[in-house]
């Protein structure tokens, strides 16, 4: 990340395990091709510091996926603050960046056991 001139960290852990070790330590979490939006919102929430951001890159999420993501966000203390369509340079491919901000504590206990967000989503 030094080549980009940013202070960033890459971790090769299950996100649920990282959340137990480093809860609310991250200003920004970025995810690409990780999970459906409701699961992704749940997984990222315990990592984010107050006012921290989740930036999720999705292909063309359905309105239903975004709505379910927003419902989970309300439970885990996040709110959606942006939805931006982008075209990848040189690839003529569409992506959607969905951004959430941590605004409150979760009303549910997080993180759940590894795999639960994907197997049994909250929404």
Q: What is the pLDDT of residues 58-73, one digit of tens each?
A: 999 999 999 999 999 9
Q: Which domains does the chain have, with CATH numbers?
A: 17-119 (3.40.50.150)
Please check the confidence at residue 54 and state whether its pLDDT lies above 90.
Answer: yes
Segment 1-30 shows an average pLDDT of 85
Q: String of b and e for 17-44 (b: at least 16 CB within 10 Å)?
A: ebbeeeeeebeebebeebbbbbbbbbbb
Residue-averaged pLDDT of the chain: 92
Longest Cα pair distance anywhere in the chain, in angstroms?
43
100 or 32, greater pLDDT: 100
| pLDDT of 11 strictly over 80 | no
pTM of the prediction? 0.89
| Interatomic CA distance for residues 30 and 9, integer angstroms | 11
Cα angle value 8/13/18 (rounded, 5°): 80
Residue 97 or residue 89, greater confidence: 97
- In the structure, what pLDDT confidence band is assigned to residue 17 with cuts at 50, 70 and 90? very high
What pLDDT score does 92 carry? 84
């Amino acid at each position: 990340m030094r080549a980009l001139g940013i202070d960033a960290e890459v971790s090769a852990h299950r996100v649920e395990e990282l959340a137990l070790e480093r809860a609310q330590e991250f200003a920004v979490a970025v995810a690409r091709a990780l999970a459906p939006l409701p699961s992704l919102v749940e997984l990222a929430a315990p990592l984010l510091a107050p006012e921290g951001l989740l930036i999720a890159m999705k292909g063309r999420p359905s309105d239903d996926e975004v709505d379910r993501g927003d419902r989970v966000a309300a439970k885990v203390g996040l709110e959606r603050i942006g939805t931006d369509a982008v075209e990848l340079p040189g690839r003529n491919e569409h992506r959607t960046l969905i951004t959430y901000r941590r605004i409150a504590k979760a009303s549910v206990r997080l993180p759940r056991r590894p795999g639960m967000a994907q197997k049994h989503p909250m929404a």
